[in-house]
Amino acid sequence: MAGSDWMRRAACTRMEPDIFYPVGDGAYAREMTEIAKQACLSCPVRAECLRQALETGEQYGIWGGMTPEERRDLARRDMRRRRFAAARMRGVAR
């Protein structure tokens, strides 16, 4: 699929968008986060959604079943893996 055509197939298109953008860290925000993550579990375009958020540096909302903090952690781990792999290829890391 080209561009953002995948968005039309996303499970969240049939849901209230505010659920995917919880504000704060109180009980209500945690509940909305869990509802959003549950919707993402069965979404047919979850991988595309997460990729979009990672590639664009999306700082807000639940994308691909992950919070902004979870996406930052994932991006950091991926960056470390890439650096390590590059170092191994150069013979620096063993």
pLDDT for residue 93 is more than 70:
no
Q: What is the pLDDT of residues 3-41, one digit of tens each?
A: 678 999 999 999 999 999 999 999 999 999 999 999 999
Give the global pTM. 0.80
Domain ranges of the chain: 5-90
Res. 92 pLDDT band, cuts 50 70 90: low
**What are the binding residues for [4Fe-4S] cluster?**
12, 40, 43, 49
**What are the binding residues?**
12, 40, 43, 49
Exposed, middle or buried, 21 (CB in 10 Å: 0-12/13-18/19+)?
Answer: middle
Alpha carbon distance 40, 46 (integer Å): 6
Residue 30 has a pLDDT of: 96
Q: What is the pLDDT of residues 57-83, one digit of tens each?
A: 999 999 999 999 999 999 999 888 888
